[in-house]
Chains A and B, each alone.
Chain A
Amino acid sequence: MPLPKVIDYGTPLRESADTVTLTIDGRAVRVPKGTAILAAARSHGIEIPKLCATDMVEAFGSCRLCLVEIEGRRGTPASCTTPAEDGMVVHTQTARLAALRRGVMELYISDHPLDCLTCSANGDCELQDMAGAVGLREVRYGQDGRKHRTEAKDESNPYFTFDSSKCIVCSRCVRACAEVQGTFALTITGRGLESKVSTGSFDFLSSECVSCGACVQACPTATLNEKSVIEHGTPTGATITTCAYCGVGCSFRAETQGGQLVRMVPYKRGQANEGHSCVKGRFAYGYATHPDRITRPMIRARISDPWREVSWDEAFAHAASEFRRIQAQYGREAVGGITSSRCTNEETFLVQKLVRAVFGNNNVDNCARVCHSPTGYGLKQTFGTSAGTQDFKSVAQADVILLIGANPTDAHPVFASRMKRRLREGARLIVADPRRIDLVRSPHIQAAHHLALKPGTNVALINALAHVVVSEGLVREDYVRERCDLASFEAWARFIADPRHAPEASADITGVPAGELRAAARLYATARNAAIYYGLGVTEHSQGSTMVMGMANLAMATGNVGRVGVGVNPLRGQNNVQGACDMGSFPHEFSGYRHVSDDATREVFEQLWGVALAREPGLRIPNMVDEAQSGHFKGLYIQGEDIAQSDPDTQNVIAGLSAMECVVVQDLFLNETAKYAHVFLPGASFLEKDGTFTNAERRISRVRKVIAPLAGLADWEVTLGLAAALGYPMQYAHPSEIMDEIARATPSFAGVSYARLDELGSIQWPCNAAAPTGTPIMHVERFVRGKGRFMLTGYVPTEERTGERFPLLLTTGRILSQYNVGTQTARTPNTRWHDEDLLEIHPFDAEQRGINDGDRVLLRSRAGATSLRAQISERVQPGVVYTTFHHARSGVNVVTTDYSDWATNCPEYKVTAVQVTRTAAPSDWQRENAARADFLRRIERELPEGAG
């Protein structure tokens, strides 16, 4: 579609129940109280010239271009810094103002190169626009300003350039970095004509800049400009779509020239991100057209054979005949499917439909199994449904934030910026994390408490916090009486009051001093609004589900569920983890979290799909791997997952895959899992298809096709092809029709349709007759299950223990520039920031082992060994080592074990007993894996270009 003009109101639009009415240029204007005159005028179609003002940051009042005259007031105040008031009479265009503005523009232009025709911002430059708007016809001061032309253009950042000669020192970039992103990487140095933007470092790449793009977005000239725009020119079209990285689910304008994506710009009206972005969503989209993309279907009889390119029809027919052969030979239960949290709701719904309706079993799972399945279990047990309680905006009203096992500045950066803004406003922060994450202390952020617990002791910690609440009389008894199941509360209160849960008793277990923990508990319990945010540091433990229930208990006991500013909020790892779970991609549940044994639910789907459905739960992903090795599970359809890299105990996963007779991988790339596959079906990136994603706040947003699928088919069409080959044609002309089926079958989605999404922008489920525009905050008057249920949460130590052979505990996490197993980001210039996984080790542990910073070390557990370079760091405590899992060559999951959460089998990634020693060589596994990688990925090309 054509590039629509984005309205910039100049200053932020305010929300207030109180309004003021004024007159601007003879027109009556009514706006919320607190709105600046500049925004009041623009929101009624009156444009006042401006340069230093933009609605993404607060007013600054430096450029003197937005001057106005106000009847009864002296002078010409700046409209950006003057609030609209009742009865004001404002004039924005007078001869006096015009002369002043021209004078201001003359000064700006005297210090700005006049190379507009060859400038990369030509046609997209506010300075150029303002020169036209004020009628600039001459520059009386000449062209001899300082201009900074001798200074080298900073091209160090892989995605944008900084050209000091184009800078008008409006400070928009500096303010965006501070106010929007909260990093404070930029400042203005010098005075007068010597003033310039500075990173405080040698260049952008070596500075504190996190490349979120806010400064580029804010820049009114070509000073900060995307390299892709410099290369291609300004975009001519735009499509609103949703990012395919983390669970924040940012909306973007995908701006194009013809069929080429030129840049991704965060969408100001996107309700999840409100115009902000991170380095991944904003810039790291190049993987979509990376040469590694496989765009032709391939098959092979054995994994030792080379791949053979075939037509789509031959691939579908081969996969279907193999699945049918396996079921005939080994039984109906011998095959299954894995859906992807990176694919759309519609695509995951189709794969689970294929498994249930065509395979005839419930062997379908998704990668939430290895991240947030304990969230599903824990929140359903306590609140009644598997969902975060709040929208992201809610954090702006939290007074105390309890952040447990999450590192939002790296893993959910756009939400982290919201959180940091609230912390700068004065909210208090409690961080519970074994590692000193950035939010413990960073510019303008200081956690009130850092509970640096030992890995694996979460439940002991949450029980101790709850013990303080109960034993010190901090329970919100009125809330509990009205909203919760009293019998369960009384049983829980007796349980938690036991002295074994006291902070003093658990300090030896958790390593957290009792006094610090008591103070944190009091802070949380006595806040007007206290909110819990958590991540995989909660769920990926042997007691992940117990911990989720423990947090829910704490929130209910203190009355912190069911209104703005509070709640229990999972920060979901992948873009569509929430959606994949909602869509019934679990072996025990249909869409909407209804158990497969529920006759009424099964009947709904049996009528829709025209087949009888199984009533017994199917296999989870780890069970599939185990059952394959036992000879009972032989065929697997994997859409958009790479379990050979992302799942724990790699050698166990590979043994399972190797024991299967037909593994079908549908993916963008020939990933690690594809090395053990027999059919490869090319996938489509999020840019190549229509659908929806559901983010961590239950927000359903449209994914819209920006470019044509490289392989010819979108992922949902591939599943249709496979289903048809299996003898079960599914009739959908467009993903909107799949959503219509989801809505018909799922009460919490009953009001969702593409038309409604287009109308509202996005929808937070439940969306039905009771909530026609969706539900930003859950459990407001009652919990989904009726009364909130307290659960007993006994602490059970993990069986993964340190000892003489493995004396250190390994925990894992993410880094800002990379995403999961690197499938996407490792194929982008984001590797400039992180091109290998490093092992963080405390100086004490390093010294004991003779390890220096940068040394290659062998990381060994009872599951396996890998090698990587060491980074000596006091972020980790003695006895704990930490690494990321973004690069296939490090193979960190060779080391993690098959221990898992008791309720859901979510792997215990966060606790592995290891030993670290210096080494000079890769591990045996790394050597063998590298040696067989090329062999297992051979492609025998037979088809001519363009076929297939």
Chain B
Amino acid sequence: MKPDKLARMANDIAHNLAALGDAAPAAIAEHLRHFWTPRMRKELLQLIQAGGASLEPTVVEAARAL
């Protein structure tokens, strides 16, 4: 999937779970495991490894739990 699309989808999840505060990263990770294919999750990790500048910090934190 195109990196910008993947990043936008991940950030959308982060923005909508932001109200959870400290619990947000865990909720984001659970959502990604629940609904994203392994390839999409892998590509998200690659995006983070490549810098992931456009990603919300909570997405980056969530990715550690994937």
User: Could you list which residues of chain A lie within 8 angstroms of chain B, going by C-beta atoms?
Assistant: 333, 495, 542-543, 545-546, 587-588, 595, 597, 616-620, 623, 626-627, 629-630, 632, 792-794, 796, 799, 898, 900, 902-905
Contacts and interface: CB of A to CB of B under 8 A. Distances in A.
Nearest to B20: A792
B37 A619 contact: yes
Nearest to B18: A794
Contact of B16 (A617, A629, A630, A903): A903
B19 to A, nearest CB: 4
Contacts of B15: 794, 796, 902
A333 B37 contact: yes
B37 A616 contact: yes
Contacts of B12: 542, 796, 900, 902
B13 interface: yes
Contacts of A903: 13, 16, 31, 35
21 contacts: A543-B16, A546-B16, A587-B37, A588-B34, A597-B33, A616-B37, A617-B34, A623-B1, A623-B37, A626-B1, A626-B5, A627-B39, A630-B1, A630-B2, A796-B12, A799-B8, A902-B9, A902-B12, A902-B15, A903-B31, A903-B35
A902 B16 contact: yes
Contact of A618 (B2, B34, B37): B37
A762 B56 CA distance: 49
A839 to B, nearest CB: 29
Q: Is the interface of B mostly helix, strand, loop or mixed?
A: helix
Q: Is the interface of A mostly helix, strand, loop or mixed?
A: loop
Contacts of B35: 588, 617, 620, 903-904
A617 B37 CA distance: 5
A542 B18 CA distance: 15
Contacts of B2: 626, 629-630
B1 A627 contact: yes
Nearest to A363: B37
A846 B31 CA distance: 44
Given A626-B5, A630-B2, A903-B31, A617 B36 contact: yes
B57 interface: no
B19 A905 contact: no
B19 A792 contact: yes
A796 B5 contact: no
Interface residues of B, number: 21
Interface in B4-37: 5, 8-9, 12-13, 15-16, 18-20, 31, 33-37
Residue of A546, A617, A630 with most chain B CB atoms under a 10 A cut-off: A617
Nearest to B13: A902
A626 B13 CA distance: 18
Contacts of A796: 12, 15-16, 18
B66 interface: no
A620 B36 CA distance: 9
B21 to A, nearest CB: 9
B16 A616 contact: no
Given A617-B34, A630-B1, A902-B13, A793 B40 contact: no
A617 B2 CA distance: 19
A179 to B, nearest CB: 45
Contacts of A793: 19
B51 to A, nearest CB: 20
A266 B64 CA distance: 58
A107 B23 CA distance: 81
Contacts of B33: 597
A175 B39 CA distance: 61
A623 B39 CA distance: 11
A592 B2 CA distance: 33
Given A794-B16, A796-B12, A900-B9, 11 more contacts: A587-B37, A617-B34, A617-B35, A627-B1, A627-B39, A630-B2, A792-B19, A792-B20, A796-B15, A900-B12, A903-B13
A905 B32 CA distance: 13
Contacts of A794: 15-16, 18-19
Contacts of A905: 9
Contact of A632 (B5, B8, B18, B39): B39
Nearest to A904: B35
Contacts of B18: 794, 796
A900 B20 CA distance: 21
A627 B38 CA distance: 13
A618 B39 CA distance: 10
